[in-house]
Amino acid sequence: MNDIKTLKGWIEKGGKVVITTHQNPDADALGSSLGLSLYLQKLGLETTVISPTEYPGFLTWMEGNDDVVIYTEEMDAEIENMINEASMIFCLDFSSLDRINHLGEIVRASGAKKILIDHHLSPENFYDFSRWSTDAAATAELVYELIVEMGDSHLMDPEIANCLYAGIMTDTGNFKHSNVTRNVFEICAQLIEHGANISEVTRNIYDTNSFDRLRLLGFSLNKKLKLIPEYNTAYIALSKEELRKFNAQPGDTEGIVNYALSLNGVLFAALFTEKDNLVKMSFRSSGDFSVNDFARTHFSGGGHKNAAGGKSEDSLEETVIRFENLLKEYKKQLS
């Protein structure tokens, strides 16, 4: 079933294709989805990329962005139809259907062939075909490899290359995380060969801050950063009120957690952001401490060993207290 011939057979049959990715998509989620979409269009397929939520302005430069369907309650019936009419549904950069909110159950119930392309731990078994590897730094890396495996490298173009490069660049933290491999650099070299514009993608993603966003970062570091030396842990908690004060837009808090991790000696970093009915958490670690396990065990989340996320329905204050208390259980690993 996982033979490439199976996928080729489904593609030859044609039909409508839905590509979907996790809520609050990042550059890998959106870049791998749009890169795949542009490629499948070249094979003559009609594709729709569906995002479960809005995403940051620093991703909207990607080719195909204008045609992305963003889930809203008003669009519910229309999106359900799109999913039900599809002959293939590609699920990119997430490993369990709860990551696409209530679209998950529609995808699960659909009769379409489901294709998982992902690099997160512990995938749920809902798919008919997969290219899944936790050794891949980014889902974009797996999409690149799939296009090669299909025998279609010649279909790669600068737009596809830019989308895929964005995913690899950001999921490796601009090539500094432990997931960077020789394969990452080899694929990036190939993407440059196909026309990826490295400086332009980098500028679009990292150098398009709004004034408010940069001031939110300054405030977070100056006023909100907490260091717990005993557990080599640092965290930042931002209330709704504080986020409002800086007019925070989707994506504005992305990357803040990495500053906490950049403190000398810190092994575990967290960012708490208060939303309407929940607290969203971003966890990062360096070395052996698994934030995937931590997020999965205590905060209904998951991700990768060194980068994961979770959520809590308690108040921001209660969540932070719970977090601090939990550190005691991990004293040995964090000392």
Classify 49 in phi/psi space as left (phi over 0), alpha (psi -120 to 50) or beta.
Answer: beta
Does residue 307 touch ligand 5GP according to CB under 6 A? yes
Please state, in angstroms and rounded to a whole number, the distance separating the CA atoms of residues 248 and 215: 10
Please state, in angstroms and rounded to a whole number, the distance separating the CA atoms of residues 221 and 225: 5
Please state, in angstroms and rounded to a whole number, the distance separating the CA atoms of residues 231 and 268: 8
- Taking the complex as a whole, the smallest distance from the CB of residue 22 to ligand 5GP amounts, in Å, to 5
Lookup result for tokens 């490899």: 145
Q: Which of 117, 87, 90 is nearest to 14 (CA)?
A: 87
Among 38, 103, 168, 308, binds ligand 5GP (CB under 6 A): 308
113 binds, among Mn ion, ligand 5GP, none (CB under 5 to 8 A by kind): none
- Taking the complex as a whole, the smallest distance from the CB of residue 226 to Mn ion amounts, in Å, to 28
139 binds, among ligand 5GP, Mn ion, none (CB under 5 to 8 A by kind): Mn ion
* String of contacts with Mn ion for each residue 147-176, x by CB under 5 A: ------------------------x-----
Among 22, 113, 213, 224, binds ligand 5GP (CB under 6 A): 22
- Looking at residue 301, its amino acid is G
Burial letters 147-169, b for 16+ CB under 10 A, else e = beeeeeeebbebbbbbbbbbbbb
52 binds, among ligand 5GP, Mn ion, none (CB under 5 to 8 A by kind): none
Does residue 310 touch ligand 5GP according to CB under 6 A? yes
Does residue 141 touch Mn ion according to CB under 5 A? no
> Which DSSP string do the residues of 96-115 spell out, in sequence order?
SGGGGTTHHHHHHH--SEEE
Number of helices (H), then strands (E), belonging to the chain: the values are 14, 12
Subset of residues 59 to 118 that bind ligand 5GP, contact rule: CB under 6 A: 99
Please state, in angstroms and rounded to a whole number, the distance separating the CA atoms of residues 96 and 88: 17
- By beta-carbon proximity to ligand 5GP, the closer residue of 245 and 311 is 311
Among 8, 16, 245, 311, binds ligand 5GP (CB under 6 A): 311
Please state, in angstroms and rounded to a whole number, the distance separating the CA atoms of residues 267 and 335: 9
Q: Are strands 226-228 and 113-118 parallel, antiparallel or unpaired?
A: unpaired
303 binds, among ligand 5GP, Mn ion, none (CB under 5 to 8 A by kind): ligand 5GP
- By beta-carbon proximity to Mn ion, the closer residue of 51 and 87 is 51
DSSP 95: S
Among 113, 114, 131, 304, binds ligand 5GP (CB under 6 A): 304
- Taking the complex as a whole, the smallest distance from the CB of residue 301 to ligand 5GP amounts, in Å, to 4
301 binds, among Mn ion, ligand 5GP, none (CB under 5 to 8 A by kind): ligand 5GP
307 DSSP β-pair partners: 284
Does residue 25 touch ligand 5GP according to CB under 6 A? no
- Taking the complex as a whole, the smallest distance from the CB of residue 93 to ligand 5GP amounts, in Å, to 7
Beta strands in 183-232 (DSSP E): 226-228
- Taking the complex as a whole, the smallest distance from the CB of residue 23 to ligand 5GP amounts, in Å, to 8
Burial class (CB in 10 A: 0-12, 13-18, 19+), 249: middle
Subset of residues 271 to 300 that bind ligand 5GP, contact rule: CB under 6 A: 282
Among 24, 37, 139, 273, binds Mn ion (CB under 5 A): 139
Subset of residues 87 to 126 that bind Mn ion, contact rule: CB under 5 A: 93
Site residues for ligand 5GP per CB under 6 A: 22, 99, 120, 282, 301-304, 307-311
Site residues for Mn ion per CB under 5 A: 28, 93, 139, 171
